A and B are shown apart, each in its own frame.
Chain A
Amino acid sequence: MAAMLEMKDVNVFYGNIHAIQDVNLSVNQGEIVTLIGANGAGKSTTLRTISGLLKPKSGEIFFEGQPIGGQPAQNIVKAGISQVPEGRRIFANMTVLENLELGAYTRSDKDGIAADMEVVFGRFPRLKERLQQEAGTLSGGEQQMLAMGRALMSRPKLLLLDEPSMGLAPILIKEIFSIISDINATGTTILLVEQNANMALKVAHRAYVLETGRITLSGDADELASSEAIRKAYLGG
């Protein structure tokens, strides 16, 4: 079966900096795939390229067989890929409700949007309590939930998550990862970027390791989690 998302020899530059080099990566329908690596390895760049915020200099990106590399971001969302950006990037000066509405910006099916809003409330009950509150007043964990709920409002087939555990207390990190597993279990494919390799490898099916812009290792998440090199470099021993 062809992969849902496929990156072939993708190269991306920031000015003169070669941010990702010849990246080959695939995500199959139904999977959680994680992309781990140190700070500055190119993980966010990879996601931003898939989302259309950056244009690859060379290489191809296919989503469900269609080339999407270099297309404007709104087309990517319409194709069914939605991203929870690093640092959550919620619209702090708008209400929780408005943030969720913006997540459904590309849709016009009022009933479907209302139904998905209920699904999001089911997953994140606290958002429902705070619907009219300014999003900037939410706690860090609530903001992460809002960012995830917002991304789900476009009803994505593939959800890109960039460092969802960043800056959260350990108890919340656990909660967020269990929600990630739940979202996947209800049929959404996930590509997860994480510095918290430990947790990421636990929920993921497969993993890629990115080092200074290149993919250096890939394989089943379980296998990578037990490999000596990974343990040393990313799992603290």
Chain B
Amino acid sequence: MDFFNVFVQQIINGVSLGSIYALIALGYTMVYGIIKLINFAHGDIYMVGAYVSFFAVTMANMSIVPALLISMVVTALLGMLVERLAYAPLRHAPRISVLITAIGMSFLLEYGSMYFVSPTPRTFPEVMGNLAYNIGGFVINGQQLLIFAITTILMIILTYVVQKTKVGQAMRAVSFDTETAQLMGINANRIINFTFGIGSALAAAGGVLVGVYYNSIDPLMGIMPGLKAFVAAVFGGIGSIPGAMAGGIMLGVIEALVSGFISSTFRDAAAFAILILVLLFRPSGIFGKAVREKV
């Protein structure tokens, strides 16, 4: 087993982990792009997504794809509800108030979930069997293939919606200049709400895939991936959709390489070291444009 083999194998692992970060990072970046809020409850939305699919698979005996779809729908509705109840009333409040509300909402979701589903971690059922493909000496397992497939499909759909549809055009307009978008007759509140829905559905997909990948879910599972996805979004350039995709995957690859060549203990340290470096040297991220603050 030489350097090259370890390297390629870690890249495969890193891309699959990174795809999940990317799915969560998209929600952060889209919400930030549209209302300049770092939605700290986003990681917990992802946790709820994992639980919904867990119950769909274990109690309703669904297979993974329908469970994923149900989880995305339920979680999208939850995200929209959270926005309507907790953030929309603060639309004209100082940004710090909304940020603190988001932190509060995060705790509410974490500890509310503990109350309802118990704090004990649950074992996510085996949905892909023991599939594993050996391609030229490198192992790709069924879970990883599922992650690649789902992430790719979701990113294509998202790109299409944002770039080609009327609602996507409205999202970009509101994100660029909310007030002028309103002058076009766009109902900004509805578009913002819709953006939370899409972001939450993508996070839910991430949550389901993590359940599938690591086989274990618990009410606090959203904290670390939530923070990592935030790092990924900043890394890619917060507010940029391609940035979140690239940032998530790169972060996953870097973590995997650190685990493979140094030690998995340093994995998280590497992620946050990246955040510090990006903030120091390229605060607008790899895809972000240095935009002036609007006055």
Q: Which of chain B's residues 88-141 have a Cβ closer than 8 Å to chain A?
A: none
What does the 1/0 interface line of A28-49 toward B look like (CB < 8 Å)?
A: 0000000000000000000000
In the complex, the answer to whether B176 meets A91 with C-beta atoms within 8 Å is yes
CB distance from A169 to the nearest CB of B (A): 24
In the complex, the answer to whether A85 meets B180 with C-beta atoms within 8 Å is yes
Looking at B150-158, B181-189, B211-219, B264-272, the stretch in contact with chain A turns out to be: B181-189
In the complex, the answer to whether A74 meets B186 with C-beta atoms within 8 Å is yes
In the complex, the answer to whether A74 meets B187 with C-beta atoms within 8 Å is yes
Q: How far apart sit A149 and B15, CA to CA, in the bound complex (Å)? A: 46
In the complex, the answer to whether B180 meets A91 with C-beta atoms within 8 Å is yes
A93 and B170 in contact, given A77-B183, A105-B185, A105-B186 (Cβ under 8 angstroms): no
A53 partner residues in chain B, CB cutoff 8 A = 179, 182-183
B187 partner residues in chain A, CB cutoff 8 A = 72, 74
CB distance from A80 to the nearest CB of B (A): 11
Q: Is B172 an interface residue (CB 8 A)?
A: yes
In the complex, the answer to whether A91 meets B185 with C-beta atoms within 8 Å is no
In the complex, the answer to whether B182 meets A74 with C-beta atoms within 8 Å is yes
What does the 1/0 interface line of B185-204 toward A look like (CB < 8 Å)?
A: 11100000000000000000
In the complex, the answer to whether A102 meets B173 with C-beta atoms within 8 Å is yes
CB distance from A59 to the nearest CB of B (A): 21
In the complex, the answer to whether B183 meets A73 with C-beta atoms within 8 Å is yes
A106 and B177 in contact, given A91-B172, A101-B169 (Cβ under 8 angstroms): no
CB distance from B222 to the nearest CB of A (A): 32
Q: How far apart sit A106 and B179, CA to CA, in the bound complex (Å)? A: 16
In the complex, the answer to whether A92 meets B169 with C-beta atoms within 8 Å is no
What does the 1/0 interface line of A92-110 toward B look like (CB < 8 Å)?
A: 1110001001110110000
Q: Is A18 an interface residue (CB 8 A)?
A: no
Nearest-CB residue, chain A, relative to B172: A94
Number of interface residues of B (CB under 8 A): 16
A77 and B169 in contact, given A91-B176, A91-B177 (Cβ under 8 angstroms): no
Nearest-CB residue, chain B, relative to A98: B169
In the complex, the answer to whether A89 meets B177 with C-beta atoms within 8 Å is yes
Nearest-CB residue, chain B, relative to A88: B180
A91 and B173 in contact, given A72-B187, A74-B187, A105-B166 (Cβ under 8 angstroms): yes
Nearest-CB residue, chain B, relative to A79: B185
A83 partner residues in chain B, CB cutoff 8 A = 183
In the complex, the answer to whether A77 meets B180 with C-beta atoms within 8 Å is no
CB distance from B279 to the nearest CB of A (A): 24
Q: How far apart sit A94 and B172, CA to CA, in the bound complex (Å)? A: 9
Q: Which of chain A's residues 101-121 have a Cβ closer than 8 Å to chain B?
A: 101-103, 105-106
Q: How far apart sit A105 and B165, CA to CA, in the bound complex (Å)? A: 12
CB distance from A108 to the nearest CB of B (A): 9
Q: How far apart sit A132 and B181, CA to CA, in the bound complex (Å)? A: 20
B173 partner residues in chain A, CB cutoff 8 A = 91, 94, 102
A106 partner residues in chain B, CB cutoff 8 A = 184-185
In the complex, the answer to whether B172 meets A82 with C-beta atoms within 8 Å is no
Nearest-CB residue, chain A, relative to B177: A89
Q: How far apart sit A102 and B186, CA to CA, in the bound complex (Å)? A: 9
In the complex, the answer to whether A77 meets B184 with C-beta atoms within 8 Å is yes
CB distance from A166 to the nearest CB of B (A): 16
Q: Is A150 an interface residue (CB 8 A)?
A: yes
What does the 1/0 interface line of A66-84 toward B look like (CB < 8 Å)?
A: 0000001110011000110
A26 partner residues in chain B, CB cutoff 8 A = none
Q: Is A154 an interface residue (CB 8 A)?
A: yes
Q: Hey, which bits of chain B sit against chain A, CB under 8 A?
A: 166, 169-170, 172-173, 176-177, 179-187
24 contacts between A and B (CB under 8 A): A52-B182, A53-B179, A72-B182, A73-B185, A74-B185, A77-B183, A77-B184, A78-B185, A82-B183, A83-B183, A85-B180, A89-B177, A89-B179, A89-B183, A91-B172, A93-B172, A93-B176, A102-B181, A102-B184, A102-B186, A103-B184, A105-B184, A105-B185, A106-B184
